[in-house]
Structure 1
Amino acid sequence: MKVIAEGAASGKIILMGEHAVVYGEPAIAMPFAATKITATMQEASQDQLTSNYYSGSLAEAPANLLNLQNLIGKLRQDFDAPPVDCRIVSTIPAERGMGSSAAVAVAVTRAFFAWQEIPTDQARVLNYVNGAEQIAHGNPSGIDAAATSGQQPVFFQKEQPLEPFQLNLTGALIVADTGVKGKTRDTVQDVATLLRLQPEKTRAAIGELGQLTRAARIAISDNQPATLGELMNQAQTLLQQLSVSDASLDHLVQVARHNGALGAKLTGGGRGGCMIALAKDRHTAAIIANQLENAGAKATWIQELGVCQYV
């Protein structure tokens, strides 16, 4: 057993397929390494947690940390480990659709395995992470766990296995936070209502979003950033038709496009949360990010795309 050990995980974004994925169409999620969570672990007299959100005895942590309580408890039980002092540092904004809860579970699990010097692999990590996610979200798809723990985009379709695929794309991705908490539950319900009231038009939009996602997978694999940008723009138009965008998102999308983005759209549940933009290079991405902050974005992050980011 090491004296102290560390584990890390990235954030994630939904690149394409929001809302349509609920109705059987595919979605693409990507690790977003510009935001991350780091967990450190060492022995203590009783289980302790230190984080930006809560610090103190893990047994007395608030109810919304039940997933973390159970995760650490199960790890300790399965490997007969002593009480832990777990410290978490995060740059992933909470409640913005960037996989914060899954990333915490990935980082903590990796830190525990490193601390106990237990050989591990991706499947073993995901087994524990998915258990924590079931407590946090009830019936998670697994896409957050896969994206925050992996290094490749993930193609996901309901009742189908997750498919990681090659990220072969030059350029840079910008994420901007509107500063407004996303309203995923409301937007999902409103799309369902729209489907009931305007079935033909809504089904057509959902189907088209699915086709755009399939085309985006090809563009990512074949290094076609301009094509991917146009697909993102088309997806944003359809998401606006489905009423899941809002003024804060639309404003930042337009700012990004007017400052050189190849494409821009909301990411996640919508009506707040974050938007994403694709730039041809990091220099252009920095210009776009600066203009987004000038236009009201609460924070921006840039990730260069391609294999080089993981070296």
Structure 2
Amino acid sequence: MKTSGVGHGTGKIILMGEHAVVYGEPAIAFPFRGVGVTATFNTCNQNQITSSHYSGLLANAPEPLQMIQQLTQRLCQEFQQGAFHLIIESTVPSARGMGSSAAVATAITRAFFDWIDVELSDEKLLAYVNFSESIAHGNPSGIDAATTSGSQPVYFEKGKAFEAFPLNIDAYLLVADTGILGRTREAVAAVAQLRKTQPEPTNRFIHHLGTLSHLAKEAIIHNQPQALGDYMSLAQHDLRALTVSNERLDTLIQLALDNDALGAKLTGGGRGGCFIVLCRDYQNAQHIQTQLKDAGVTETWMQGLGVYENV
């Protein structure tokens, strides 16, 4: 066994299908390397953790870090490993729908296996991350675990196996934070209420969001960035009709479109949180990024896609 091990996990973005996925429609999510987590295990004489949330003995860590306690305990028991000092460095913002907890679990699991110098299969990694996510979220869909531990977009439909497919779209994705915490639980409840009071139009919007997810997948596979942008903007229209957008999101998304974005929409639970903008090239992305910052957006992240992925 080595004296130290390092592992990484990426953030994730829901590209299409949020809220509709709850009702059996497909969604698309993919790893977002604009943010990520690095975990490091060092051999030590007692279990310690250093992180932005808490530093000290792992046994005394606050309740939100329970998933880390239980994941590391399971790993150490299964492989009969001794004490460690775990260091976690993260640029994934919390409560923004970017898969923070799953990215942490991915980085920890990879770092642990690097530390003990044992090969880690994709299946084992996913199993450990799902175990950790079940502690953090109770009954997660598994989409965060699949995307933060993978390298390709995931097409997800409730009750069906995840389908990975290549990210073949020549564009840039800009992710921007409204500065307002997302209110996922409230937004989900609002959609459920709409289905009771206005079932016909609500179900029509939900089904259309699912259709747009399918079309977006085809646009990505066939490298049609303008079509993908159009589908994103249509999805935002549906999400606004379902009351999960808000004035701040609407204003900033329109600003991006007014500055030649291919498309834009909220991502995740909505009513705050983040939104995503599809840009034709790096210059376009930079220009929109500047316009958004001038409008008060404090945090933005960028990722090249397709041929721009490794630029």
TM-score (norm 2): 0.98
Deviations, residues 81-111 of structure 1 (Å, cap 9, x unaligned): 1111010111111000000000000000000
CA apart distance, 1:4: 1.5
* Matched residue, 1:45: 45
Residues 92 and 192 of structure 1, relative CA distance in 2, 3 Å threshold: same
* Matched residue, 2:104: 104
* Matched residue, 1:169: 169
* Matched residue, 2:304: 304
**Whole-angstrom distance in 2 between the partners of 1:308 and 1:249:** 27
**Whole-angstrom distance in 2 between the partners of 1:196 and 1:134:** 30
CA apart distance, 1:248: 1.5
Q: What is the identity, as a one-letter code, of the residue corresponding to 2:4?
A: I
* Matched residue, 1:183: 183
Task: Kindly report which structure 2 residues correspond to 1:169-248, keeping only aligned pairs within 5 A, or say none.
Answer: 169-248=169-248
Q: What is the identity, as a one-letter code, of the residue corresponding to 2:56?
A: G
SS in 2 for 1:300: strand
**Whole-angstrom distance in 2 between the partners of 1:307 and 1:122:** 25
SS in 1 for 2:93: coil
Deviations, residues 272-302 of structure 1 (Å, cap 9, x unaligned): 1000000011111111111111111120000
Task: Kindly report which structure 2 residues correspond to 1:19-58, keeping only aligned pairs within 5 A, or say none.
Answer: 19-58=19-58
SS in 1 for 2:309: helix
SS in 2 for 1:41: strand
Q: What is the identity, as a one-letter code, of the residue corresponding to 1:280?
A: R
Deviations, residues 25-55 of structure 1 (Å, cap 9, x unaligned): 0000011001011111111111111111111
Q: What is the identity, as a one-letter code, of the residue corresponding to 1:266?
A: L
Residues 308 and 289 of structure 1, relative CA distance in 2, 3 Å threshold: closer
> Does 261-270 or 277-286 show the bigger shift?
277-286
Q: What is the identity, as a one-letter code, of the residue corresponding to 1:185?
A: R
CA apart distance, 1:308: 5.6
CA contact (8 A) 1:47 1:59 kept: yes
**Whole-angstrom distance in 2 between the partners of 1:44 and 1:7:** 18
CA apart distance, 1:155: 0.2
SS in 2 for 1:95: coil
**Whole-angstrom distance in 1 between the partners of 2:310 and 2:285:** 19
* Matched residue, 1:82: 82
CA contact (8 A) 2:209 2:238 kept: yes
SS in 2 for 1:182: coil
CA apart distance, 1:309: 2.8
CA contact (8 A) 1:37 1:103 kept: yes
* Matched residue, 2:260: 260
Residues 163 and 307 of structure 1, relative CA distance in 2, 3 Å threshold: farther
**Whole-angstrom distance in 2 between the partners of 1:144 and 1:63:** 21
Residues 124 and 215 of structure 1, relative CA distance in 2, 3 Å threshold: same
**Whole-angstrom distance in 1 between the partners of 2:73 and 2:249:** 40
**Whole-angstrom distance in 2 between the partners of 1:99 and 1:290:** 26
**Whole-angstrom distance in 1 between the partners of 2:307 and 2:153:** 12
Q: What is the identity, as a one-letter code, of the residue corresponding to 1:196?
A: K
**Whole-angstrom distance in 2 between the partners of 1:99 and 1:244:** 19
CA contact (8 A) 1:151 1:310 kept: no
Task: Kindly report which structure 2 residues correspond to 1:13-24, keeping only aligned pairs within 5 A, or say none.
Answer: 13-24=13-24
> Does 234-243 or 293-302 show the bigger shift?
293-302
* Matched residue, 2:120: 120
RMSD (CA atoms): 1.0
* Matched residue, 1:63: 63
CA contact (8 A) 1:12 1:98 kept: yes
**Whole-angstrom distance in 1 between the partners of 2:30 and 2:113:** 25
Structure 2: unaligned runs, 5 residues or longer: none
Q: What is the identity, as a one-letter code, of the residue corresponding to 1:189?
A: A
**Whole-angstrom distance in 2 between the partners of 1:30 and 1:290:** 25
Confirm or deny that 1:285 pairs with 2:285.
yes
**Whole-angstrom distance in 2 between the partners of 1:163 and 1:70:** 29
CA apart distance, 1:252: 1.3
Structure 1: unaligned runs, 5 residues or longer: none
TM-score (norm 1): 0.98
Identity %: 53
CA contact (8 A) 2:191 2:242 kept: yes
CA apart distance, 1:195: 0.4
* Matched residue, 1:139: 139
